[in-house]
Structure 1
Amino acid sequence: MIHYALIGGTGVEHFELSEQRVIKVKTPYGTVEPMIGKLDKRELVFMSRHGRDHATPPHLVNYRANIWALRELGVRKVLATAAVGSLSPEIHLGELVLPDQFLDFTKSRPQTFYEGGQQGVLHVDMTEPYCSTARQLIIEASDHLGFAVKNGACYVCTEGPRFETPAEIRMFQRLGAELVGMTSVPEVVLARELGMCYATIGMVTNEAAGISAHPLTHAEVMESVEKLGVNVAKLIEETVELWTLGQDCACASANIEVGKF
């Protein structure tokens, strides 16, 4: 049983596991190939969200297979990374932010493991989508390192792979969104359905359309990610050192009504 996992999106090039090996995990939603390794002598599953060659766009990621595979391996706690755009004058390029709420504007992604029939139906509680205990641990790790990390922001998830229009960004701002990205939903929802603690480290890599003075490009995002990558890798390592097995939160009981896992 492996209790901890990292889901890496754009920008985890500075993160390395020792004793790496790739395994295959068959799930009801397809076969995935996560990496197993050690970080600070602690065994960890690394799931590359977009594939090892970054070939899968956000709207085609097999989120259900990825999360199911982690739970099959015994994972109880998940730390994710994500490149995000800022919608707020209080959140600046190059900062690290931990989302605590989300708005879902995806369109075509399966959102649940429980689709009726023998699977049952689960109306999972999302009052606190991102585990507060896990977020507090990341803040503690950032304090040890002397990093500034903002704890709490509303993340709006869009379908992608295109960037958003300025009109969409203005709408999201009026709804209270502070960050924009393309991957957190349904990942965070599926983790909650399977009783796992889940938190995201958002790397602010750009200002959204209509806020930035120039058109958005993927190259700009990748340049910003490269600058943030070293600090994020250190933050991941420090957080993993602080992890413990217990789940002193409500995450583990989220699917109690269907009695799975």
Structure 2
Amino acid sequence: MGRLAVILGSNALGPSGGEIAAAAAEHGAAVVQRHGSPDAFVLPHEIDYAANLRPLVEQGCDRVLAIASVGSLRADLPVGSFVCPDDFIALHVGLSIFADARAHTTPGFAPRWREEVVAAWGAEDGERAVDGGVYWQTVGPRFETPAEIRMITPHADLVGMTIASECVIAGELGLEYAAICVVDNLANGLAEGELSVDEMEADRLINATRLRDGLAAVLPRLGAVGR
């Protein structure tokens, strides 16, 4: 039985970020900030996923609970929704830690671990995570155009810039991987008016508090140190 790792996203870089990280570490989980620190923010397309994940293996981790900020492609997944996706589309992503035939992997979220996360998240406070959904990864760091959103909406439920790449590298390193995505905005073109970064950041701050509470409640159930 190995240790649990929690990878935090950009929604944990605000005033509540330290509290979110502390909530995870308090339960024995290894904590990684995907984007570095607020003073040295790493843009999505510049993240070194292998550098983030390899130390987790060295620390005895065998599974990852990743937290990510996403845009929703569906009206029935409003801002504030928690979603545990079960598949992703990342047609442009070619990342691998291998330089030979071992790179021909079959990627994806770890099914049993993902089921554990879904069962545990919100079991105490009732803020359950939606079970399943397709995550579409774009290159970033810019947001998508309304035309791009219209193209991908028939095929996915969430849009983001990091989870698919991270999941692929985690799998290559032997880490089981599942994600809780927090909807911080409706995708560009789906909401009334232009997508506002200021409005998104305001929603992100509200969601960060709920995220902190959700993590604090779920980690004992997931067995941060061993299972």
TM-score calculated relative to the size of structure 2: 0.88
- Deviations along 1:170-204, one digit per CA (max 9) or x if unpaired, are 11013x11100011121001111111111111110
Is residue 68 of structure 2 the alignment partner of residue 82 of structure 1?
yes
Aligned to 2:97: 113
Aligned to 2:46: 60
Aligned to 2:78: 92
Q: CA deviation at 1:226?
A: 1.1
C-alpha distance in 2 between matches for 1:121 and 1:16: 34
- Any idea what SS the aligned residue of 1:6 has? strand
Q: Which residue among 121, 125, 141 is the counterpart of 1:161?
A: 141
Aligned to 2:105: 124
Residue identity opposite 2:99 in structure 1: E
- Any idea what SS the aligned residue of 1:92 has? coil
More RCO (CA 8 Å, sep 6+): 2
C-alpha distance in 1 between matches for 2:180 and 2:162: 12
C-alpha distance in 1 between matches for 2:112 and 2:218: 12
Contact 1:6 1:44 in 2 (8 A): yes
Higher helix share: 2
Contact 2:85 2:135 in 1 (8 A): yes
Residue identity opposite 2:35 in structure 1: H
C-alpha distance in 2 between matches for 1:131 and 1:235: 21
- Give the stretch that moved more between structures: 158-167 or 134-143: 134-143
Q: CA deviation at 1:105?
A: 4.4
Contact 2:21 2:31 in 1 (8 A): no
Alpha-carbon RMSD: 2.1
Contact 2:189 2:195 in 1 (8 A): no
Matches within 5 A, 1:144-159: 144-159=124-139
Residue identity opposite 1:71 in structure 2: V
Residue identity opposite 1:166 in structure 2: P
- Any idea what SS the aligned residue of 2:148 has? helix
Residue identity opposite 1:156 in structure 2: W
Percent identity over the alignment?
Answer: 31
- Give the stretch that moved more between structures: 135-144 or 48-57: 135-144
Aligned to 1:255: none
C-alpha distance in 2 between matches for 1:232 and 1:135: 18
Aligned to 2:11: 11
Unaligned runs of 5+ in 2: none
C-alpha distance in 2 between matches for 1:106 and 1:87: 19
Q: CA deviation at 1:2?
A: 6.8
Q: 1:133–1:233: structure 2 CA closer, same or farther, 3 Å change rule?
A: farther
- Deviations along 1:4-41, one digit per CA (max 9) or x if unpaired, are 111111122241428xxxxxxxxxxxxxxxxxx8323x
C-alpha distance in 2 between matches for 1:148 and 1:45: 24
Residue identity opposite 2:4 in structure 1: Y
Aligned to 2:189: 210
Contact 1:2 1:73 in 2 (8 A): no
Aligned to 2:123: 143
TM-score calculated relative to the size of structure 1: 0.77
Aligned to 1:38: 25
C-alpha distance in 1 between matches for 2:42 and 2:89: 23
- Any idea what SS the aligned residue of 1:82 has? strand
Unaligned runs of 5+ in 1: 19-36, 247-261
- Any idea what SS the aligned residue of 1:17 has? helix
